[in-house]
Amino acid sequence: MRIVFIGDIFGRSGREALEKYMPRIQEELKPDIVIVNGENAANGAGITEKICKQFYEYGVDVITTGNHVWDQREVIAYIARDKTLLRPVNFPQGTPGYGSYKFRLNDGRSILVVNAMARLFMDPLDDPFKAMRDVLEKEKLNKTCNAIFVDFHGETTSEKMSLAHHLDGRITALVGTHTHIPTADCHILEKGTAYQTDAGMTGDYDSVIGVQKELAMNRFVKKMPGERMRPAKGKATLCGCLVVSNDKTGKAKSIEPIRLGGILPETMPEG
């Protein structure tokens, strides 16, 4: 199975990059599924029904989120109706929405997409390690589904690495989001799970993690709350990765980075 994952879409520039590069991704990489983290898509804070529908029109199959999922209040009612818009699975019981979705391909194969959120320097949610163990009690790699992909939204590299090793061999891939910087550690873990600490942001990198740099710098220089953070508006780099799995085992065969456009060096997996 060919799985394309695209990191945090940040503001208008990120949305425009997704629209621009999706045809190339579809043509050259021929993905079976496209998963996008969209939690910063609406002006850098949250996501809306309108944006979700735009992403689906571009060819996105599943949208993941994170700690900014509720920033646009209208999404609270919408997320309960859209099973392909995920919020972290370790939110408390009774939270609107879904933490996972099983996507079925036309040929009968299926992939479980799970969205989880870390706790170090983040909101105090339920234990993501236990939440993932609970998911995997019901879903078994290559038994109930052909692949399992996890977007782990978190601040620290150690927590992301720890969960990946904890789940190694039981999932196809775990890719981190939230820090908005692509890491250079795409690799296959010992028991067959693909891993990358952070897929990176799809947004303008002439910024401070997507925010207009002057506004962000002022918070450090003046130590005052200052103006509301606003997305940078330059040309965006689309960042993500391609995971290829073995259909017989569900484990990963390869993971390669994707970077297109903007100011970062481009890299694109071979088709």
Catalytically active residues are: 68
Place of tokens 């060819």: 59
Number of Cα atoms under 13 Å in the Cβ half of residue 152: 33
Which residue stretches of the chain are H helix? 11-29, 49-58, 75-78, 128-138, 157-167, 213-222
Identify which of 45, 44, 54 has the alpha carbon closest to the alpha carbon of residue 20: 54
What's the CA gap between 200 and 196, in Å, rounded?
A: 10
Identify residue 56 by its one-letter amino acid code: Y
- The Cα diameter of the chain in Å comes to 57
Which residue stretches of 30-120 are H helix? 49-58, 75-78
